[in-house]
């Protein structure tokens, strides 16, 4: 039994390692995906800072940088499930699901793989934000913790992507749904503006939006250089666990 568990754990890391190899062999996609968030920080952030649309935020470019990093990573995480659609069509996924490996390990492995891919945006956008004047921490501990929090939260969004791929069998429908939920999640969070300035219905949505708490944790670490992120981490952890639980339950539907 212990040997089987060890083999399953090795399989999880093998999925993650395979994703890292894909990134190494095709790094162009990582940089092209970073163009949009860089424009958010460099153009949108700079313009809004000049007009002082939200004086309570202080330096606006600094304020939005953690949110833009997360938005870019979230889109990559949510898009990861299209790979499962391809694997379903090629028969790879059916063979994987018929293997002795528990479904939970498959979901964890794929969620980690998608999170590692999306976390590549962290360094790229962080550097771009610093170059345009964002006043972010240089404390190595805060930067490393920020990376791990982003990766952990991205596992939850990748699990949601697996749920979407399990219920929508065509690529067109999958990408349509991903596009329909990514930007609403982004705008209904505290990524671009404080929750207090939102209309009341949007505030209600923001309080149940996992992006809100992930942005809050990143902002606390990267802007305030503080470690008081316990309540945010609790909610992020609940989000990741619930997302994975649903993904584990629905994964077999992807080959039906």
- Give the CA-trace dihedral at 167, 171, 172, 177, to 10 degrees: 50
What pLDDT does residue 5 have?
Answer: 66
DSSP string computed for 81-111: THHHHHHHHHTHHHHHHTSSS-HHHHHHHHH
- For 221, list phi and psi in degrees, rounded to 5: -75, -50
Angle at the Cα of 144 from the Cα atoms of 138 and 149, rounded to 5 degrees: 125
Amino acid 7: pLDDT: 63
pTM for this structure?
Answer: 0.90
Residue the block writes with tokens 């939850």: 156
Q: How many residues are present in the chain? A: 256
Q: What is the token pair recorded at 66?
A: 């953690």
Q: Which residues contact 9 (CB under 8 A, 6 or more apart)?
A: 105
Query: Does an H or E element contain 220, and which?
Result: helix 210-222
What are the structure tokens assigned to 107, written together? 């979901």
Q: Where are the domains of the chain?
A: 2-255
pLDDT at residue 1, as a whole number: 47
The one-digit pLDDT tens for each residue of the chain (256 residues) are: 466 666 667 777 777 777 777 777 777 777 777 788 888 888 888 777 777 777 777 888 899 999 999 988 998 899 888 888 777 777 777 777 777 778 888 889 889 989 998 998 898 889 888 888 889 999 999 999 999 999 999 999 999 999 998 887 677 788 888 888 888 899 999 999 899 889 999 999 999 999 999 999 999 999 999 999 999 999 999 999 999 999 999 887 776 6
Q: How many helices and strands in the chain, by DSSP H and E?
A: 13, 0
Q: Which of 197, 102, 203, 216 is nearest to 153 (CA)?
A: 216
């Amino acid at each position: 039994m212990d040997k089987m568990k060890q083999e399953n754990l090795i399989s999880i890391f093998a999925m993650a390692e395979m994703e890292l190899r894909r990134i190494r062999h095709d790094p162009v996609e990582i940089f092209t995906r970073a163009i949009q968030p860089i424009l958010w920080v460099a153009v949108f952030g700079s313009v809004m800072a000049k007009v002082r649309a939200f004086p309570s935020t202080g330096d606006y470019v600094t304020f939005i940088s953690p949110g833009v990093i997360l938005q870019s990573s979230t889109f990559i995480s949510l898009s990861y499930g299209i790979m499962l659609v391809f694997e379903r069509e090629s028969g790879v996924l059916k063979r994987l699901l018929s293997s002795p490996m528990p479904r939970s390990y498959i979901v964890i492995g794929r969620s980690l793989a998608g999170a590692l891919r999306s976390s590549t945006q962290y360094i790229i956008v962080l550097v771009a934000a610093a170059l345009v004047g964002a006043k972010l921490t240089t404390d190595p501990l805060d930067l490393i913790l920020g990376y791990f929090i982003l990766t952990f939260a991205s596992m939850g969004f990748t699990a949601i992507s697996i749920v979407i791929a399990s219920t929508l069998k065509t690529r067109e429908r999958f990408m349509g749904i991903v596009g329909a939920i990514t930007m609403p999640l982004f705008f209904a969070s505290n990524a671009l503006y404080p929750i207090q300035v939102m209309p009341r219905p949007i505030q209600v949505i923001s309080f149940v939006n996992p992006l809100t708490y992930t942005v809050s944790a990143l902002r606390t670490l990267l802007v305030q250089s503080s470690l008081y992120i316990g309540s945010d981490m609790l909610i992020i952890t609940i989000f990741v666990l619930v997302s994975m639980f649903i993904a584990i339950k629905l994964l077999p539907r992807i080959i039906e």
